[in-house]
Structure 1
Amino acid sequence: MNIKYILLLFMSFLPYSSFANIDTSLCTPKTFIVSGYYSSLPNQTFYYRENYDREIRLNGRGTHGASGQAVFNGMIAAPKNYKFGTKIYFPQYGVGEVHDRGQAIVNAGVRGYSNDRIDIWMGHGEDGLKRALSFGKQKVTGYICPDNVEVGFNMNNFLIHEKFFDVLIWSIYLEPGRKDQFVKTLQKYLYKLGYLKKEHQTGYYGEVTKQAVCSFQQKMGLTYPGSGVCGYFGPRTRNTMKNLAIANKLFNNSFYKKLISINELENINLSIKTKKENLKEEKNINTKKEEILQKIKDEILKEENNITKDKKQEKEEKLFVFTRGIGPGERSAEVGHLQEALKTVGYYEGKISYEYDDNTLEAVYNFQLDQGIINHKTDSMVKGYFGPSTRASLNGILIQQL
């Protein structure tokens, strides 16, 4: 990203839309964890979950919110303690109105979130999906406002990354049988890293691509021969390949470092509009704007010369979340993850054998006792079995340790 682009971006904030005229003195400020969602359409060239049928199973058909209101520009999904009709103003984007819910839309303190989680509806079809994925998940300060504010978002300010597939490939789960631009992007990186021939960049995740991913995983020590997950492009594989691509200058990680200036610039622009008559204050504001612009330039130059890693994101991507039961006698990659996790929380001291042996069973049993999941009188059938309650408890502890 060059300086000219940033200057244009900076100028695009001046003057801002009519949303900047909202009197926030009548509103209650609140910081949220914000992400985006969309309404899928048949015959898209790509989906988050491979195809239309799987997409609507994940997100519903996307025609109406939980309130019964048809989807519209400005719809927000919020936790249940936010009444339908609650209006929230975000200076960068506009005003939204709560008309939807969601299983992942929770209050602060749930699922490890430090702030209330909300979702902004970002449109229909591929453009809506691109906006939502490009936006990602951000901490944004907004204002809960009275009912008389006008609802609507400026969708042009939900920027779609110019190299969308190159950037978002690192957050998409891919598996054999899929065919779209995400698969073709994966094949491009496999080719550049020496695991796939150029003529196999077809966009179809067939046996050749599966074997290429499997070879990469084995070389990186992510799995072992014969594992049921070998050849699937999951979180640990994505993170490892992304870091290798960055190290080989095949991919620029700067997109993952959000532009720190956007909120600050918007606050300055609001101040300019409300304090125009005071020349001295205007001069101070302009000085502050120059300081922020210089901060942007310094940040970009720093990223161009020395790309750094976001440690917290790296830990989150490396975290293996357990989603199924595991029991004695099983040998799999999941058992290896379980042994690593139990070692992390101080219950397992053996080697990572990938086999649910007596040592693993004993470690799980002691963990269950300490967490109050079972007691010494519990039916022996569940003692040492890694079932739903044990999974939830261990996942929660691992997330808290991030």
Structure 2
Amino acid sequence: MKHKLPLRIRATITLLALFAPTNVTGIDPAMPYEQEFVLTAYYSPLPGQCCYVRGGYEADKILNGEGHTAADGTAVYPGMLAAPQSYAFGTRVKLPRLGTLTVHDRGGAIQVLHSGAHRLDVWVGSGEEGLARALAFGVQHIRGTVYPLGSRQPENDFDLARLRAPMERLSPFGVQTENLLALSPKLGDRNLSSAILQDHLRSAGYFDHVSSGYFGPETQEAMKRFLNDFELEEPSDRLTERSASFLLAASRRSEAELPIHGIVEKGGSEDTIAQAQRILRFLGYYDGRTDGAYSLALHSAILRFQQEKGLVGTAIDPGAGRIGPLTRRALEAEWNRRLVAVRADKYSTIHAVEQQLIDGGKTLDMFLAEGHTGQRVRLLQHLLAERGYFPEEKINGNFGALTRSAVFDYQVASGIVDSLSDDGAGSVGPETLQSLRREERAKAYRIVRAEGWKAL
């Protein structure tokens, strides 16, 4: 005979079953547990980088996020984790060789994998240094310990200094290595942009150290000397667009000897005097005829130059109104400054043209490969059609076999690849992107020079 429990006891058991916490997995949700992870790193892109993993600032933002705050509103910081949705914000994860990190963020690809491993993404900095760290970090398979909310969590102890940021990792992603005006290195940076700055300072004769990529006191001192020589009132602790335009011009132009040979004075060589007249007219000191005659107007022009440069005080000082060795050296320095300034102005205009093309969506700003779709692919097809590599009627915004073949043909004609087996053949990587942008920039610059900015 079966014995029934009293009704009051059965009701109590039912209530306990309804309201008591259950754990179907057998793991206490407030207890730490071990887990397999697939760990990668991400960074916050900044404008003015030499290199972007997707080919441009906007494209890298799409991949890595805006880079200011995490999904829970926390300001980004080194070691912050992005984890799957099942991880509550504030969960901590202890990982071998990395330390203890806290979950604050999410990500489209940050999921639980079919293998049972969980994807984690760790934030490792911003700008080029952050990108170099993320690339060097790679993909790591790690077994770690999860400390849920409510458990006895260890303190955060992630140390960013444990992760290297090798500059050589950036080289395959360089999209602005040719355009110094697009870069913005500053004092304290350790990145490829600083190394590019040092290379240009060396080419211009202001830096005689190894291009380490560290923008330290030696680089700043070189910047000070350069800015002083070219009379630029720009900060020495960073590269501005104006100082970059002058440095680019100076580094690409070797010092030219002043084409005045001999002394310029009354009774001197007509050829030498005529050359002095041309130089002083170019510099804005002389507006008379180029006739080889030592006139009062030429004497006054030389005197005004000498007085402005502090070479003489009055017209009766020794050497006043005469071009001797000292005045010749001063003229040569000024002549080189002016020639550099003219070219710097050109580089500034070219850079402004490219920025307008980018802002207007008229030039490519990211890497592209088979499988990509959208407006950027349509623009690529249009650019290839203009060059005769793609049928205009086939422009559809889909990067398929036809587009890949057209890109390859363009690359071969441009000397970028030789065969389909070459790295990057048929896809728009750094070299192809730079080549297309260089051509579009030059074409747009010619239009602006001929017809004005409105023609763009």
TM-score (norm 1): 0.37
Q: Larger radius of gyration, structure 1 or 2?
A: 2
TM-score (norm 2): 0.33
